[in-house]
Structure 1
Amino acid sequence: MTDRSWPAAPVIYQIYPRSFRDSTGTGTGDLNGIIQKLDHPARLNADAVWLSPFYPSPMKDGGYDIADHTEVHPALGTLDDFDRLVARTHELGMKLIIDQVFNHTSTECPWFQRAIQGDPDYDDFYVWHDPKPDGTAPNNWLSQFGPPAWTWNHKREQYYYHNFTADQPSLNLRCPGVQAEMQKIMRFWRDRGVDGFRIDAITSFLFDTSMKDNPPASPEVRAKVAGESFVPYTYQDHAHDILPGDGLAYVEKVRDWAGDDAFLLGEVTSGNQSVELACGLTEPGRLDAAYTTDFPAGKGSAAAYADILSRATRPARLGWWLSSHDQPRHAAKAGDGSDRDVRFLAFVLATAPGPVIVYQGEELGLSQPDLPKWAVTDPLDLLYWPDGPGREGARVPLPWAEGDDRGFSIAQPWLPMDWPAGVSVAVQQYGADSNLSFYRAAFGFRREMLGSVTLNDWTRTDEVIELTYGRARVILNFGQSEIEVPGRADFASGPMGEMTMPGRTGAIWLA
């Protein structure tokens, strides 16, 4: 990067706008609600805020089905509100990253509607294909949610391709017209002061133009394909529908559109060869970082951590995370839900050798809520109900205070907020022994003592991982058993003995 104000491995706080804070009394979070509470991630020592989509959308997939890439959803605010959000973010010493969803649009996007109507200027904006002679889909490709990746459009008498839901037709990113629009969109937001972009589903951008059938996945490949084993998508080796030979180099176009000084963070949705793809995507002239699902899918274990490090050519280019807007909260998935495990996992992230993503609410130690089916809108959760991944549960609004409204909204929130007493920001704000206080301390220590977080060496012995950063020695005890350590630590996730470290504890020694 040419913008030296970006740290080498920034701490990025993800905000899901509908669930952060409501300032209008509608029950849905909005941009002004975010502005009112931006001091919260700043006090966590976040370097940047990542804002999930706030664009006009029919909300068929949580806002990731975008109808207009250069506007604000009326329920969330206006462009003037967005400009104030940018200004406040910078005033607090943070950068602003926004989602860019270039893989697809909503079916309500004017581009798609014009393509259906046969407008020659938009005919090639999406991926259309004639049926086979028997009327069936062009090939065997599946969407990442499981159903077929092709949907029939009777007006064009063709199928259109979609990596995700049928409400999200995939853009033809090889089309010059699409590329011109993507460049305009990125420039529009850069001109408004945006500092970087999180690129949604970047490994789904391109596909093999021969459109050959994907072969069946071998047991070894299937074990690595992203998604639950009961999802049909895992049965295929995605040799033809995930980044073919020119896919990695295509990211250089994205860099050109964004500018050299923009921080670019890519989402890798391919489970197979995910770390290797992430490393390829972050070669010079491409992305600054990319993140995979390996660590949350591996439940934040020592084995998953070591597997990533052993496969990564440059760990500093990998994003480290455990929860997000479309992954269940990790307190009880990667831990046992106790404060001990919440803080240990926070420590694991705070000492990670690359950019770190903290999803809103992790700092409170929130556990995954159980939602009734009537409240759920997420298409993936509903498709496999009640065995879906729990994406909607991770979007339950934040508890800012105690009481009936939890300080989120004066109206009924868009998702039920059945949080237990005592987990709110108001309760944890000043408690020296709260999860929130620990997060602040851990990421403050990262900023002050670990510097650029350049990993010099690492080892794994059973459930213990040791990392060396310059003069810092980090030990992560993922197991339950006590281990011997060099002596009193400079910073730790929990109580330690003089020469011993309990299970589920992390600590740092400075030379």
Structure 2
Amino acid sequence: MNQTWWKESVVYQIYPRSFMDSNGDGIGDIKGITSRMDYLKELGIDVIWLSPVFKSPNDDNGYDISDYQKIMDDFGTMEDFDEMLDAAHQRGIKLMMDLVVNHSSDEHQWFIESKSSKDNEKRDWYIWKPGKDGKEPSNWEAAFKGSVWEYDEGTDEYYLHLFSKKQPDLNWENPRLRKEIYKMMNWWLEKGIDGFRMDVINFISKDTDYPDGKVAEGKKYGDGSPYFMNGPRIHEFLQEMNKEVLSKYDTITVGEAPGVTPEEAKLYTGSDRNELHMVFQFEHMGLGDGPEGKWSNLSWKLTDLKKVMTRWQKGLEEDGWNSLYWNNHDQPRVVSRFGNDKEYRVESAKMLATCLHMMQGTPYIYQGEEIGMTNVQFDSIDQYRDIETLNAFKELTSENRMSEEEMMASIYARGRDNARTPMQWNAEEHGGFTEGTPWIEVNPNYKEINVEKALGDQESIFYYYQKLIKLRKENKAIVYGNYDLLLEDDEQIYAYTRTLGEEKLLIICNFTKDSTLFTLPSGIEYNSSELLISNYAIGEGTSIDSIEMKPFEARVYKLN
């Protein structure tokens, strides 16, 4: 297997609006990030993935871009950006930018021109269609609810938006548009950034017939995903992007790819494919989804999680590469989702970190994960800011598909704002995030859970993450070793081995609040074992053949 720096790296995602506010306006900004660079250096991460900081009217928190080469006023200036990039590079930290090119903002100059008339030279930079039998061109449902088609009176046609109506989809069939995008990407790489995380990149190629999708029972709209996920020309477009841009630089690239399978992921990430380094898949994030998607929030089983993780570990073992994550700006907090954020918050946060960081792939840490930040439960829907959450609440309650109580319970469990409450730096007002009024309220538990407290406690989750990152740097087996699942049917313990040549690691994680017995399966031979990391104190000379695992306990052994 090719050994490369991005396989050996640990990435830290920053959601700038919620990270650190430097000027008291209640919104995190670039200078705020620069002021915390030493903190990230101390944690030991190698790469920052920065969520969008481009000029944007902020309909979808910056994922609606009106100018790809300017900085959003809320976040500062291009000078601030250059200073931050320099501060990161001085500390040996690389910077990966968010690339959002499936869609732009409807306030982007390209769209303003495109919409101005059917004859405009940029008309086909976006996807315009006449209506069909007095209705929309197709029956697809948008990600943020409603139709994907928005009618424009001025030109008597509809434009496509897979997300909000303020996020019109770009037409990748147009070679002039693609050229313009590559020019912009080259501009950023010339500036010195180190790579791209590509937003819903597997949506950029559509079936240009736009056929109607299947309508599920009780639903108004059809499912268009078979016609825009992993579309007909997607690999051609990405290979062209690689040739025109990515191949010229030593980058790190990850493509967000909802609905992708391990087989498809190999096409995106295979070493001789010249496309991307890795993809973000969502199979494990979909555990507990039901008829209303994540808002159904059903229970999940550990065996289901093991099945998904193992399918991806084995699927990309020989060729391709995994990205490893538990949460991000679109997902709830991991300790609340897969752990126990009450009596075992610290233990379960450490266990989950162990389980993920010991797998094959590049680990991603989402801001606040390293101090065990939790989901939030605001009293009223009015305290939420996320467009997806607000639209779903309105639609599902008004159509009596869910009650307001059920909907709030789902938002507490799965809503995107769980990840977007401000970073908790200290026990001062607003968690030290801002001296003003934060754009979204801080989680009320900031006095107990904050960075200052974590840095003052050698047993904190922060130092545990620091140790996991250090272990990955020292052990090639953690990065490159083969993964093999143990105890496949166990509903309490997730155990697996990693093997590289003569080196073997044993990872044991208890996913429950009950003590449970781990018995080493026959066939795993060893002369002696060395404990590399654990989230409980363990006595000398403990046998690994049979272990009474405490609630949410995790252990990693090197077998000699």
TM-score using structure 2 length: 0.83
Check whether the contact 1:399–1:419 (CA below 8 A) recurs between aligned residues: no
The reply to whether residue 251 of structure 1 matches residue 238 of structure 2 is: yes
Map 1:101-140 → 2, pairs under 5 A: 101-118=100-117, 120-133=120-133, 135-140=134-139
Determine which of 327, 334, 338 is the counterpart of 1:330: 334
| Larger Cα-atom Rg | 2
Q: Structure 1 residue 362: deviation in Å?
A: 0.3
Match in the other structure for 1:419: 444
Q: C-alpha deviations, 1:133-170, integer Å up to 9, x for none?
A: 3x201112221233211111111111111111111000
Determine which of 399, 423, 426 is the counterpart of 2:424: 399
Q: C-alpha deviations, 1:301-341, integer Å up to 9, x for none?
A: 45324324325531461211111111111111111112111
Q: 2:105 & 2:231 partners in 1: Cα distance?
A: 25
When residues 52 and 34 of structure 1 are mapped into structure 2, their CA distance, relative to the original with a 3 A threshold, is: same
Check whether the contact 1:295–1:321 (CA below 8 A) recurs between aligned residues: no
Match in the other structure for 2:223: 236
When residues 231 and 251 of structure 1 are mapped into structure 2, their CA distance, relative to the original with a 3 A threshold, is: farther
Match in the other structure for 1:296: 285
Match in the other structure for 1:465: 495
Q: Structure 1 residue 414: deviation in Å?
A: 1.0
When residues 467 and 451 of structure 1 are mapped into structure 2, their CA distance, relative to the original with a 3 A threshold, is: closer
Check whether the contact 1:204–1:241 (CA below 8 A) recurs between aligned residues: yes
When residues 232 and 251 of structure 1 are mapped into structure 2, their CA distance, relative to the original with a 3 A threshold, is: farther
Check whether the contact 2:478–2:498 (CA below 8 A) recurs between aligned residues: no
Q: C-alpha deviations, 1:38-73, integer Å up to 9, x for none?
A: 122222221100000011111111110111111101
Q: C-alpha deviations, 1:268-303, integer Å up to 9, x for none?
A: 122xx4333322211230100101112233379453
Q: 2:70 & 2:511 partners in 1: Cα distance?
A: 48
When residues 457 and 357 of structure 1 are mapped into structure 2, their CA distance, relative to the original with a 3 A threshold, is: closer
Check whether the contact 2:19–2:28 (CA below 8 A) recurs between aligned residues: yes
Match in the other structure for 2:376: 369
Q: C-alpha deviations, 1:167-208, integer Å up to 9, x for none?
A: 100000121121011111101110111000000001211111
Q: 1:132 & 1:232 partners in 2: Cα distance?
A: 17
The one-letter code matched in structure 1 to 2:370 is E
Partner of 1:436, secondary structure, is: helix
Check whether the contact 1:57–1:68 (CA below 8 A) recurs between aligned residues: yes
Match in the other structure for 2:173: 174
The one-letter code matched in structure 1 to 2:214 is P
Q: Structure 1 residue 496: deviation in Å?
A: 4.4
Give structure 2 stretches of 5+ with no counterpart. Answer: 288-299, 394-407, 521-525
Q: C-alpha deviations, 1:70-127, integer Å up to 9, x for none?
A: 1101111111111111111111111100000000011111111111112622111100
Check whether the contact 2:6–2:252 (CA below 8 A) recurs between aligned residues: no
Partner of 1:384, secondary structure, is: helix
The one-letter code matched in structure 1 to 2:123 is D
Q: 2:504 & 2:328 partners in 1: Cα distance?
A: 29
Number of residue equivalences: 495
Map 1:44-443 → 2, pairs under 5 A: 44-118=43-117, 120-133=120-133, 135-215=134-214, 236=223, 238-260=225-247, 261-270=250-259, 273-283=260-270, 284-298=273-287, 301-311=302-312, 312-315=314-317, 317-337=321-341, 338-371=345-378, 372-385=380-393, 386=408, 387-388=410-411, 389-420=414-445, 421-443=447-469
| Residue range with higher mean Cα deviation, 448-457 or 174-183 | 448-457
Give structure 1 stretches of 5+ with no counterpart. Answer: 219-229
Partner of 1:353, secondary structure, is: coil
Q: 1:77 & 1:5 partners in 2: Cα distance?
A: 34
Check whether the contact 2:265–2:279 (CA below 8 A) recurs between aligned residues: yes
The one-letter code matched in structure 2 to 1:354 is G
When residues 318 and 68 of structure 1 are mapped into structure 2, their CA distance, relative to the original with a 3 A threshold, is: same
Which is richer in helix? 2
When residues 286 and 173 of structure 1 are mapped into structure 2, their CA distance, relative to the original with a 3 A threshold, is: same
The one-letter code matched in structure 2 to 1:368 is N
| Residue range with higher mean Cα deviation, 90-99 or 330-339 | 330-339
Check whether the contact 1:13–1:48 (CA below 8 A) recurs between aligned residues: yes
Q: 1:75 & 1:172 partners in 2: Cα distance?
A: 29
The reply to whether residue 475 of structure 1 matches residue 507 of structure 2 is: yes
Partner of 1:140, secondary structure, is: coil
Match in the other structure for 1:227: none
Determine which of 493, 508, 511 is the counterpart of 2:556: 508
Match in the other structure for 2:396: none
Alpha carbon RMSD of aligned pairs, Å? 2.4
Q: 1:452 & 1:85 partners in 2: Cα distance?
A: 31
Q: 2:336 & 2:266 partners in 1: Cα distance?
A: 30
Check whether the contact 1:104–1:171 (CA below 8 A) recurs between aligned residues: yes
When residues 367 and 177 of structure 1 are mapped into structure 2, their CA distance, relative to the original with a 3 A threshold, is: same
Match in the other structure for 2:291: none
Aligned residues: percent identity? 27
Check whether the contact 2:422–2:443 (CA below 8 A) recurs between aligned residues: no
Check whether the contact 1:342–1:435 (CA below 8 A) recurs between aligned residues: yes
Check whether the contact 2:51–2:98 (CA below 8 A) recurs between aligned residues: yes
When residues 426 and 361 of structure 1 are mapped into structure 2, their CA distance, relative to the original with a 3 A threshold, is: same
TM-score using structure 1 length: 0.91
Q: C-alpha deviations, 1:213-239, integer Å up to 9, x for none?
A: 223579xxxxxxxxxxx9877x73732
Partner of 2:95, secondary structure, is: strand
Check whether the contact 1:44–1:444 (CA below 8 A) recurs between aligned residues: no
Match in the other structure for 1:221: none
